[in-house]
Chain A
Amino acid sequence: MQPAFSVIFLTTLIGMGQGVFLAIYTEHVYSVLNVVQQSNNSQFYVIGSVVALGLLVLGLFASFFHLGHPERAWRAATMWRTSWLSREVIVLPIVMFFVFVYAVLHFFEFNIVLITFGSIDVNLSLVIGAVATLTVFALYICTAMIYASLKFLQEWHCVLTVLNYTLLGSASGFTATALLSFYTQADKFNFYLGWSLVLLVLAFISRIASLYRNRRLRPISTVQTAIGIRHNQIKQKSMGFMGGAVNTRDFFHGKTRLFIRSIKQIFIWLLFIVPLCIMTLTFYSPSYEMIGLAMISMYLGLLAERWYFFADANHPQNIYYQVIS
């Protein structure tokens, strides 16, 4: 496919935004359960939620550039029964709403306790956060299923697509939160950093698994099934036109193999290896510059990863558009 930058920014930005929320809420739950040291974190939760919201809004903004008629975008919420894209369009504002409510509750420190289990107080923000977390996971699934549900795009039609979107989004979100916490909540820095490392390693494994899977794929559609002629030697002589068409632009990246392979190397290094090394070092000697560097490298890597994700998919329609004349 031809990677579209609007979609690349959409998926990476909202993925990271969702991850930021998951990070602060994980810390919230841990501190309620007394796994990490309790402190008055409300202010940090507000900052985190606002950053998460900001990323979600930016992503949404980027997505409008993909539409021919953004003024009709609201219509996209109507076909949720059949369309994963429609589901994403519905779940995204729901996530934003709950993250917003979560931020407001913390901003006004509006902590009514709903139930108490022993020494654990379950207050309203904890419940809202849980709901928001569910919607965040639903959004990861919706976003990834837009691609994974298209069965003839064999590179995408796999559970690893959903896993990758979730893990990469979470990992980048936890790293962004670690960066945020460096000055504002230094005692939790290692908590976020540790989680980022774990998630990034998991994402690395899952992404390599999908690269490995895709390398071994054999196309199900061939020129024989495409035109329905049983013969081993079929050559296209003309695709029906000599100029351009959407079919020759939208479905193929138009780059050389070498270019594609270098993008793969770039994302493996920038998204995984470099941040993993930097973050491991940062774990022992915390430094704002280092974690900042890891974040930049990771986001650039993420852009390259998403570009590769799209370019890697072979659309069967390309079989019909091989020879210009």
Chain B
Amino acid sequence: MKQYKTSKQLALVIDLNVCVGCHACVTNCKEWNTSGSAGALSDDNPYDKDPTGTFFNRVQTYEIGEYPKTETIHFPKSCLHCEEPPCVPVCPTGASYKREEDGIVLVDYDKCIGCRYCSWACPYGAREIDEHQKVMKKCTLCVDRIYDTDLPEEERKPACVLACPTSARLFGDVHDPDSEVSEAIREQGGYQLMPEWGSKPSNHYLPRRKQKVKHSPEELERVDNPLKKEDYQAEDSAGPSLDDVTSW
């Protein structure tokens, strides 16, 4: 199998501890990507019975455990820009490819014949065919905005990242050990989805982390104050003096 070696690998890190499931990333993704020069992400019956449409990003909800001991996890999912993308080598036209320069997996809409084979070859269900343009679509990591020098520097990020009100989505180069995303993966237990297929997703998820502070009794009681006298004052400060009136 072909080895994809990219010096840089842009990716998202999604913090499940923070995500509140508001779908802001979904709507902003749709808004940005349906307005680009590549044409709309087509929908059918959007305000009617049986609506259907093309999206790059979905937020799902899972319930973990059994009532009353349950936790709700909101789980955003888009193309994971795999380091060994199984969807790329199967494409008969070369329309699906992984960029050398930043590891983004893209579809060339002008070459795609709409055979759907790549979507069969993605275990994550991240590819959706556009039923009107008849080409395969998927998350582009907003390749058309992250390099756009007309935008102010801080806006050169994927639309979903900018939209997230809780900053649950981090964006950066996972091959750079000093990047924000690498640090988050390393220090907060970032993991990949379905590691069993060897596709090595670049996007990572940060697990739920319970914020528990542990206190030992020693921390609550002063061990160096055996008489439990809290208003203890130094011997020599028996009376007020002119220069330190505020000291007691």
Contact = CB atoms under 8 A, between A and B. Distances in A.
Interface of A: 1, 66-70, 72-73, 75-79, 82-86, 89, 146, 149-153, 220-221, 223, 225-229, 231, 233-247, 250-251, 315-318, 320-321
A88 B195 CA distance: 30
A245 B117 contact: no
Nearest to A241: B58
Contact of B114 (A68, A84, A243): A68
B12 interface: no
A82 B2 contact: yes
Interface of B: 2, 23, 26, 45, 50-55, 58-66, 72-73, 75, 77, 86, 88-95, 111-117, 119-125, 128-129, 131, 133-135, 191-197, 205, 207-208
15 contacts: A67-B114, A68-B112, A68-B114, A75-B92, A75-B93, A78-B93, A79-B92, A229-B208, A239-B60, A243-B51, A246-B54, A246-B119, A246-B131, A247-B125, A320-B124
Contacts of A231: 64-65
A73 to B, nearest CB: 6
A239 B58 CA distance: 8
Given A231-B65, A236-B61, A245-B128, A315 B89 contact: no
Contacts of A85: 90, 92, 115, 117
A240 B60 contact: yes
A239 to B, nearest CB: 5
Contacts of A150: 86, 90, 120-121
Contacts of B77: 240, 320
Given A234-B63, A321-B125, 7 more contacts: A77-B92, A82-B2, A89-B92, A225-B193, A227-B193, A236-B63, A316-B194
Contact of B113 (A68, A82, A321): A68
B207 A228 contact: yes
Contact of B115 (A68, A227, A250): A68
> Interface of chain B, helix or strand or loop or mixed?
loop
Contacts of B65: 231, 233
Contacts of A239: 58, 60
Contacts of A234: 62-64
Nearest to A4: B116
Given A78-B92, A83-B89, A66 B115 contact: yes
A97 to B, nearest CB: 20
Contacts of B195: 225
Contact of A76 (B92, B123, B125): B92
Contacts of A77: 92
Given A240-B26, A245-B128, A247-B125, A79 B64 contact: no
Contacts of A246: 54, 119, 128-129, 131
A70 B73 contact: no
B125 A320 contact: yes
A315 B197 CA distance: 13
B246 to A, nearest CB: 56
B118 to A, nearest CB: 10
A220 B92 CA distance: 27
Contacts of B54: 245-246
A321 B126 CA distance: 12
Nearest to B51: A243
B90 A82 contact: yes
Contact of A79 (B52, B53, B93): B93
A150 to B, nearest CB: 6
A139 to B, nearest CB: 15
B129 A68 contact: yes
Contacts of B112: 68-69, 72
Contacts of A226: 193-194
Contacts of B114: 67-69
A238 B207 contact: no
B125 A152 contact: no
A247 B117 CA distance: 13
A240 B135 CA distance: 23
Q: Which of B66, B86, B129, B196 is packed against the most chain A CB atoms within 10 Å?
A: B196
Given A69-B112, A220-B196, A227-B62, A317 B51 contact: no
A243 B91 CA distance: 29
Given A78-B92, A245-B53, A237 B63 contact: yes
Nearest to B76: A240
A267 B30 CA distance: 44
A241 B27 CA distance: 12
A308 to B, nearest CB: 17
Contacts of B62: 223, 227, 229, 234-237
A229 B71 CA distance: 11
A221 B194 CA distance: 7
Contacts of A227: 62, 73, 75, 193, 205
Contacts of B119: 246, 250
B198 to A, nearest CB: 9
